[in-house]
Amino acid sequence: MNLAIFLEESRTVLEHKLEELLEEKQTSYHSLLDASRYAALGSGKRLRPILVLATAQVFGSDLDTALVPACAIELIHTYSLIHDDLPAMDDDDYRRGKPTVHNVFPESHAILAGDHLLTYAFELLSEAPGLTSDQKIQLIATLSKASGANGLIGGQVMDLESEGGTLSLDMLKEIHTRKTGALIQAAVLFGGIIGGATEEQLTALKEYSHDIGLAFQIIDDVLDITASEEKHGKHIGSDAINNKVTSATLLGIDKAKKYALQLLSSAQNHLVEMKQNTALLSELSECLVNRSR
C-alpha cells in the first residue's frame, strides 16, 4: 500500500476512535473529561499509534484489532506531554499548536487529566476486542515497562536532573532511549504482539524500534532549533531556554542529522531480518527522519 494513503486512512480511523473513546459525557466530573479531550483530540502527528498499525499490518493483522491498543499508546503519550509541560517540569505554554492544558484549565485539572489518560490506557488494553488474554497481558506488560521507571518516567527524571549541566553523548543517548525511545519501541512491539510475530521477529522489531526512536528524538532536537513554530506546534528554542543539552547542541546540526541517517540505515537492516514485506514500515521510518515538524 502507498504510504500517503496508509497515513491518511490511519489518521482518519484513529481520530474517530479517539473521539469515541473520549466522548463527551454529562458527568459531575465533566471538567476532567474536557481537559482530557482538549489535550488528546484534534492535533498531534499520531506517530506512535500509526507505528502500531503499520507494524501490525506487516503480520497481516486487521486494523480493527490493532486500533484500541494503538489509541492506548497515544493516550499515554498525551499524558506525558501534559505532565512534561507543567510548571514543575518544563513549564511550556504552547503545545500541539495551542496553549498547554494548564494554561486553559486549572493546573490541578491538567495533572488529573494526565493521570486519567494514563489509567484509562491500561483499562482499554485490558478490554481490547479481538485479542487473547495472553496478548493483552503481553501488551500491558510492554506498555507498563516502557512508561515506568525504566522507560519514560526514568528518562524524564534524568532529563530534569541534567538541566543546566554537561552531558556525555552516551548519557544523552540513554535519556533519549528512555524518554522518547521506550514508547516508540512499545508501539512497534505492540504491532508485533497483535500480529503474532515470532520471538526472532520481536527481537528484530526491538532493535529496529530502538534505532528509529533515537533517530526521531535527534531530529526533534534539530527541529527545536531549525523549524518554524507554526510547523512544529510548540515554541522553538525551548531546549535552549531550559538549558538543555541536546544532540543538536552536543554534535552540531549537521553531525546530528548524519547520525540520525546512520540510525535509519541500521533500523532498515533490522527490518530485513524479519523476512516479511516491511516496505511500508521502511518508508515510514524514512519519513520520520526526513520530517520537517
The residues of the shown chain that bind ligand GRG, judged by CB under 6 A, are: 44-45, 47, 77, 80-81, 83-84, 96, 152-153, 156, 179-180, 217, 220
Q: Which lies closer to ligand GRG via its Cβ, residue 72 or residue 81?
A: 81
Taking the complex as a whole, how short is the minimal distance between the CB of residue 128 and ligand GRG, in angstroms?
21
CB 132, min distance to ligand GRG, A? 30
User: Of 66 and 76, which CB lies nearer to ligand GRG in the complex structure?
Assistant: 76
- How far apart CA 208 and CA 8 sit, in angstroms, is 24
Least distance in angstroms from the C-beta of 127 to ligand GRG: 24
Q: How many CB atoms lie within 10 A of CB 210?
A: 20
CB 289 within 8 A of CB 261: yes
- CB closer to ligand GRG, 36 vs 180: 180
Tell the smallest beta-carbon distance from residue 232 to ligand GRG (Å): 8
Residue closer to ligand GRG, measured from CB, 211 or 220: 220
Residue number, 41 or 124, with CB nearest to ligand GRG: 41
- Assess contact for 280 and 54: CB atoms under 8 A: yes
Q: How many CB atoms lie within 10 A of CB 42?
A: 13
| Alpha-carbon gap, residue 75 to 98, rounded angstroms | 18
Q: Using the Cα atoms of residue 65, residue 148, residue 247 and residue 244 in order, give the sign of their dihedral.
A: positive
* Cβ neighbours around 216 below 10 Å, total: 23
Q: Shortest distance, CB of residue 177 to ligand GRG, whole angstroms?
A: 11
Residue appearing with cell numbers 553531525 = 255
